[in-house]
Chains A and B, each alone.
Chain A
Amino acid sequence: MMLNSTVLSTSRLSPNVKKLDFEWNVDVEPGQFIMIWSPGIGEIPMSVSHLGNPKSITVKSYGIVSSRIMELAPGEMIYFRGPFGNSFDIRKGKKLLIGGGSGMASLHPLIGPGVHGLVAGRTSSDLLFSEEFEKDKVTLATDDGSVGIRGTAVDALRTIDVDQFDSVYVCGPELMMYGVMKELGKYSAFVQFSLERNMKCGIGVCDSCSIDGFQLCTQGPVFEMETVKNMREFGKERLNISGRRIKYNL
Chain B
Amino acid sequence: MNSTPLRTEIGGITLENPLMLASGILDENGYTMARILREGAAAVVTKSIGLDERTGYMPPVVFPGDGYLLNAIGLTNPGIDSFGDEIRVAKEAGKPVIGSIFGKDAEEFLRVALKMESYGVAGIELNLSCPHVKGFGSEIGSDPALVEEIVGELKRKLKVPVFAKLSPNVTDIVAIAKAASASDGLVLINTVRGIAIDIFARKPVLTNGYGGLSGRAIKPIGVRLVHEVKKETGHAIIGVGGIYTASDVMEYIMAGADAVQLGTVLMDRGKSVFREIAAELGTLLEKLGEGSIRNLVGVAVS
Contact = CB atoms under 8 A, between A and B. Distances in A.
A206 interface: yes
B28 A239 contact: yes
Given A42-B59, A207-B32, A245 B198 contact: no
Contact of B82 (A41, A206, A244): A244
A239 B83 CA distance: 11
Given A37-B60, A239-B29, A245-B82, A204 B77 contact: no
A37 B79 CA distance: 28
Interface of B: 25-29, 31-32, 34-36, 47, 53-56, 58-65, 69, 71, 73, 76-79, 82, 85-86, 198, 200-203, 205, 207, 263-264, 266-267, 270
Interface of A: 1-2, 4, 35, 37, 39-44, 65, 77, 79, 200-208, 210-215, 218, 232-233, 239-245
A202 B58 CA distance: 14
A201 B61 contact: yes
A210 B25 CA distance: 12
A32 to B, nearest CB: 17
B201 A39 contact: yes
Contact of A244 (B65, B79, B200): B79
A83 to B, nearest CB: 14
Chain A binding site: helix, strand, loop or mixed by DSSP?
loop
A2 B198 contact: yes
B28 A204 contact: no
Contacts, number: 125
Q: Which A-B residue pairs are the 7 nearest by beta carbons?
A: A213-B35, A244-B78, A39-B201, A43-B59, A207-B28, A42-B58, A243-B28
B261 to A, nearest CB: 14
A43 B224 CA distance: 36
Contacts of A243: 28-29, 47, 76-78, 86
Nearest to B82: A244
A200 B28 CA distance: 13
Nearest to B202: A39
Contacts of A40: 201, 203
Contacts of B58: 41-43, 65
Contacts of A239: 28-29, 78
A240 B198 CA distance: 30
B61 A207 contact: no
Nearest to A199: B59
Given A40-B203, A239-B78, A206 B31 contact: no
B85 to A, nearest CB: 5
Nearest to A209: B29
Contact of A2 (B26, B59, B63): B63
Given A1-B65, A205-B264, 7 more contacts: A43-B207, A201-B71, A203-B62, A205-B26, A207-B32, A240-B78, A243-B76
Nearest to A245: B85
A210 B27 CA distance: 10
Contact of A205 (B59, B60, B85, B266): B266
B26 A210 contact: yes
Contact of A218 (B79, B264, B270): B270
Contacts of B53: 242, 244
A24 B163 CA distance: 48
A240 B55 CA distance: 9
Contacts of B85: 245
Given A42-B59, A203-B62, A210-B31, A215 B26 contact: yes
A37 B266 CA distance: 24
B190 to A, nearest CB: 15
Contacts of A35: 59-60
Contacts of B266: 204-205
Given A40-B203, A218-B270, A242-B56, A207 B29 contact: yes
Contacts of A77: 200-201
A43 B270 CA distance: 23
Contacts of B71: 201, 205
Contacts of B65: 1
A2 B82 contact: no
